[in-house]
Amino acid sequence: MAIFSTAEIEGRHEKLRPHLGVSDVVVAFSFFNSYYLSGVPIIPWGRPAITVVPKDSPPAMILATIEHERASQHSPITEFHTYSDIDGPNASSSIRLLSELLKSRGLRRIAFDAKGTSVAMLEMLKAAMPGAQFADISDELEQMQLVNSDEELALIRSATEIADMGIKTFINEAKIGVAEVVLAGRAMLAMSEYAARHFPDIETKVNCYSQQGTRSLQAHTGASGDTLRERELMALVIEVYAWNYQVAVERALVVGTPPDEQRRYYETMLEAQTSAIEAIRPGVSFATVDRAARQVFQAAGYDQIHCGTGLVRGLITEWQGRVDRGNIRPYNENLLLPNMVLSVEPWAIAPGVGAPRHCDMVLVTENGHEIISKRPEGIISVG
Amino acid sequence: MAIFSTAEIEGRHEKLRPHLGVSDVVVAFSFFNSYYLSGVPIIPWGRPAITVVPKDSPPAMILATIEHERASQHSPITEFHTYSDIDGPNASSSIRLLSELLKSRGLRRIAFDAKGTSVAMLEMLKAAMPGAQFADISDELEQMQLVNSDEELALIRSATEIADMGIKTFINEAKIGVAEVVLAGRAMLAMSEYAARHFPDIETKVNCYSQQGTRSLQAHTGASGDTLRERELMALVIEVYAWNYQVAVERALVVGTPPDEQRRYYETMLEAQTSAIEAIRPGVSFATVDRAARQVFQAAGYDQIHCGTGLVRGLITEWQGRVDRGNIRPYNENLLLPNMVLSVEPWAIAPGVGAPRHCDMVLVTENGHEIISKRPEGIISVG
């Protein structure tokens, strides 16, 4: 079964075409833009998968032979131009097929995703098509991707349900003396089993790690072999991908009874997150949501806040796909729209304590918002 | 403790500088090149970490404030220019700091990694530095990264040891009726525990999935909820990262007693892999290694071979970092050098059977090769 309906993918093409301006074709090089316009997620491993959407003729894909079957299964696109590893370097092969296709259709005014295309790929295409004109259509693609269709929303809800299951498992199993990496492993196994049972047709990936005390100040690390220590504040991070749509759910956990300074930070963080979530409704700017959280921290004396309050999730990995206009930050005056999904995750540095936080997935609805992860009340104590 | 010694990182700068030609600075935008030249792996999450190595003055880094501590811990570089999420879009902030640094040092002839730099980033830098000249230094960086130092080799050996542990766990637990995703989860937990116990100072990431029968023809999927079925050929895939150095170990597994056609494919695959491994020594081309495997398959009548025989592992993820001149393919006449590490993983399509394979990590030594993963003899039967 295809990930997305034919109507969904063709609808994306229809929405994009009016933004083409003088260009006569969109060429999507990056993983996320190519996936968005084709409906088939092809993990690159060095082999470009390029989706081509002309203004006035049928769409096509350039891809590796080994991905042909997967593309046929998931994409309503029926024209595939394939290369194999035998033909020569994959990048050169893909550019050769792409330029032949564009030339054969007389397409020389090319809109492409400059934020996701390497300089080397563009230079190769320019060399193969002297006189072609190029325009960047990244902004239009990004703005479309910020708002989810119902089909996309269903993936995000599934991923969030799996993440909630992982959070529950970790918390239930967390005892003083158990290694963090063991807890992370059990949470990942529980999530994988849950996903296989409840969503057998969705390809999922799960990730889980935790950080105790001031180690939570080191961004984006992995699980450690440390055992749970009493009276440490801990950050628990879970990321789940459903067909490459990413969600994150995070929890601040207290091991045992928290000292006063931990409790004060924790309660401030909860209030900041509540304040940000309550600000979410259509027509409000991302900046307004950020300020709602920031003011709470600042009023409590926590003024080391180097990060925003969260971001639009979905078509993103840690490597690529983050859309700046979907960042909840003080400078971002872009407006919230129904069917955006945000991770709301404000934090500040609490000296000597760390910086753990809650992160919840919040959907912008027609009139307000819906918290789609299972957000708990009050301080979570484990051990 | 830093991942790499100061001598190691400074040695990389010294080796690179003679390749600068008329350029007076190297600017590394991509994750892997920036990591390679700084010694600090900074997962981007949309926040550029740029390493700057001038020909005649000290190196510097542009990075997010939240990564400052991590960079100080791991990099011998001491000059950091930081931005926070409050300043504006991270890409713009990083380019502003970069152009200010380059201008203040009078550096206007810029060598950069065009294969790992987006068109949008380069355009921003060009706009900030009118008249600057740009040259691509990707090839030189790639050629350097193909050959490992002893410190890099130690990471690759550690990751391989963890992967072997995962293979052993999966095989021991594999029984008919057990879900693949459960086996994958147990293997990942065992690997995580092993890594935490034996390599507590190394940040590791593990991945495991399996594919039964013709599902092994779908490249790069995840684990499914399918239970193990008798008389299916299965592909078991494990990837481990040690400080972002990647290895892969894969095994073809027979569930129960294999039918003749499965046995014939399996034995051919083993012979092809042996033939490729035996061809490995310094001075031999990648193409020669590929042919050694390909000839075995073709002689046995398996002529659907769309992929090469393997690749140089190390600084690579599924998203970026694959180096074409490190691909074991028929067209690649680049020569093997001591301290390269290859994954050797030949496969062909066996109609109705699938395409599982063994994948082993092989080090090119001074006189030949060393198989650093635990390669078993004969057919592996589980269930």
- B267-316 confidence digits (pLDDT tens): 999 999 999 999 999 999 999 999 999 999 999 999 999 999 999 999 99
H helix or E strand, kind and range, residue B109: strand B109-112
Determine the Cα–Cα distance for residues B88 and B94; give it in Å rounded to an integer. Answer: 10
Residues 6+ apart with CB under 8 A from A151: A4, A5, A8
Question: By the CB < 8 Å criterion, does B283 face chain A?
Answer: no
Q: Which residues of chain A fall below pLDDT 50?
A: none
Query: What would the pLDDT profile of B147-173 be if each residue is shown by its tens digit?
Result: 999 999 999 999 999 999 999 999 999
pLDDT exceeds 90 at position B216: no
Q: What is the pLDDT of residue B232?
A: 83
Query: What would the pLDDT profile of B219-255 be if each residue is shown by its tens digit?
Result: 556 667 788 888 888 999 999 999 999 999 999 999 9
Determine the Cα–Cα distance for residues A311 and A346; give it in Å rounded to an integer. Answer: 10
Which of B44, B87, B123 is closest, CB to CB, to A318? B44
Residues 6+ apart with CB under 8 A from B184: A192, B170, B208, B209, B210, B223
Residue A115's φ and ψ, nearest 5 degrees, are -75, -20
| Closest approach of B186 to chain A, Cα-based (Å) | 7
The one-letter code for the residue type at B89 is P
Q: Which residues pair with A118 in a beta bridge?
A: B118
**Global pTM?**
0.96
Query: Cβ–Cβ of A119/B120 closer than 8 Å?
Result: no
Query: Cβ–Cβ of A219/B91 closer than 8 Å?
Result: no
Q: What is the pLDDT of residue B218?
A: 67
Question: Is the distance from CB of B49 to CB of B61 less than 8 angstroms?
Answer: yes
Phi-psi region of A321 (alpha: psi -120 to 50; beta: other; left: phi over 0): left
| Averaged confidence pLDDT in chain B | 95
Question: By the CB < 8 Å criterion, does B354 face chain A?
Answer: no
Residue A85's closest chain B neighbor by CA?
B307
Geometric angle at alpha carbon B329, from B113 and A127, rounded to 5°: 45
Q: What is the ipTM of this complex?
A: 0.96
Determine the Cα–Cα distance for residues B89 and B83; give it in Å rounded to an integer. Answer: 10
Query: What would the pLDDT profile of B12-66 be if each residue is shown by its tens digit?
Result: 999 999 999 999 999 999 999 999 999 999 999 999 999 999 999 999 999 999 9
Q: What is the pLDDT of residue B55?
A: 97
Determine the Cα–Cα distance for residues A145 and A326; give it in Å rounded to an integer. Answer: 10
Determine the Cα–Cα distance for residues A333 and B380; give it in Å rounded to an integer. Answer: 59
Query: Cβ–Cβ of A90/B318 closer than 8 Å?
Result: no
Determine the Cα–Cα distance for residues B107 and B126; give it in Å rounded to an integer. Answer: 13
In chain A, which residues have their Cβ closer than 8 Å to the Cβ of B69?
217-218
The order of strands in the sheet holding B360-364 is B327-328, B310-312, B341-344, B360-364, B369-371
In chain A, which residues have their Cβ closer than 8 Å to the Cβ of B43?
219-220, 318-319
CB A253: neighbour CB atoms within 10 A? 24
Residue tagged 């690749």 (tokens): B311
Question: Is the distance from CB of A79 to CB of A44 less than 8 angstroms?
Answer: no
Q: What is the pLDDT of residue A16?
A: 97
| Closest approach of A364 to chain B, Cα-based (Å) | 23
Here the tokens at position A170 are: 């970790």
Q: Which residues pair with A245 in a beta bridge?
A: A242
pLDDT exceeds 70 at position B353: yes
Determine the Cα–Cα distance for residues B318 and B311; give it in Å rounded to an integer. Answer: 12
The one-letter code for the residue type at A139 is D
Residue B23's φ and ψ, nearest 5 degrees, are -75, 155
DSSP character at residue B371: E
H helix or E strand, kind and range, residue B142: helix B138-146
Determine the Cα–Cα distance for residues A129 and A96; give it in Å rounded to an integer. Answer: 10
Determine the Cα–Cα distance for residues A71 and A4; give it in Å rounded to an integer. Answer: 12
Here the tokens at position B66 are: 């939240």
H helix or E strand, kind and range, residue B102: helix B90-104
Query: Cβ–Cβ of A196/B317 closer than 8 Å?
Result: no
Q: Is B81 exposed, middle or buried (0-12, 13-18, 19+ CB in 10 A)?
A: middle
Strands B109-112 and B25-28: parallel
Determine the Cα–Cα distance for residues A105 and A151; give it in Å rounded to an integer. Answer: 32
Residue A112's φ and ψ, nearest 5 degrees, are -140, 170
Q: What is the pLDDT of residue A179?
A: 87
DSSP character at residue B114: G
Contacting B residues, span 134-173, partner chain A, CB-CB under 8 Å = 136, 138
DSSP character at residue B51: E
Nearest to A38 by CA among A69, A82, A81, A71: A71
Question: Is the distance from CB of A268 to CB of A282 less than 8 angstroms?
Answer: no
Determine the Cα–Cα distance for residues B218 and A196; give it in Å rounded to an integer. Answer: 18
Question: Is the distance from CB of B296 to CB of B273 less than 8 angstroms?
Answer: no
SS3 letters across chain A: CCCCCHHHHHHHHHHHHHHHCCCCEEEECCHHHHHHHHCCCCCCCCCCCEEEEECCCCCEEEEEHHHHHHHHHHCCCCCEEEECHHHCCHHHHHHHHHHHHHHHCCCCEEEECHHHCEHHHHHHHHHHCCCCEEEECHHHHHHHHHCCCHHHHHHHHHHHHHHHHHHHHHHHHCCCCCEHHHHHHHHHHHHHHHHHHHCCCCCEEEEEEEEEHHHHHCCCCCCCCCECCCCCEEEEEEEEEECCEEEEEEEEEEECCCCHHHHHHHHHHHHHHHHHHHCCCCCCEHHHHHHHHHHHHHHCCCCCCCCCCEEECECCCCCCCCCHHHEECCCCCCECCCCCEEEECCCCCECCCECCCCEEEEEECCCCEEECCCCCCCCCEEC
- Radius of gyration over alpha carbons of chain A, in Å? 23
Which of B45, B87, B318 is closest, CB to CB, to A220? B45
The order of strands in the sheet holding A245-255 is A204-212, A233-242, A245-255, A381-382
Tell me the three state secondary structure of residue B98. Answer: helix
Determine the Cα–Cα distance for residues A350 and B341; give it in Å rounded to an integer. Answer: 44
Q: What is the pLDDT of residue A256?
A: 87
Residue tagged 């492993």 (tokens): A185
* Maximum C-alpha span of chain A: 71
Q: At what angle do helices B180-198 and A180-198 cross, to 10 degrees?
A: 170
Determine the Cα–Cα distance for residues A314 and A312; give it in Å rounded to an integer. Answer: 7
The one-letter code for the residue type at B47 is R
Determine the Cα–Cα distance for residues B115 and A123; give it in Å rounded to an integer. Answer: 10
Tell me the three state secondary structure of residue B182. Answer: helix
Which of A188, A196, A306 is closest, CB to CB, to B179? A196
The order of strands in the sheet holding B204-212 is B204-212, B233-242, B245-255, B380-382
Q: How many CB pairs below 8 Å do chains A and B form together?
A: 196
Residue B46's closest chain A neighbor by CA?
A322
Q: What is the pLDDT of residue A222?
A: 64
Question: By the CB < 8 Å criterion, does B193 face chain A?
Answer: yes
Question: Is the distance from CB of B266 to CB of B286 less than 8 angstroms?
Answer: no
Query: Cβ–Cβ of A119/B118 closer than 8 Å?
Result: yes
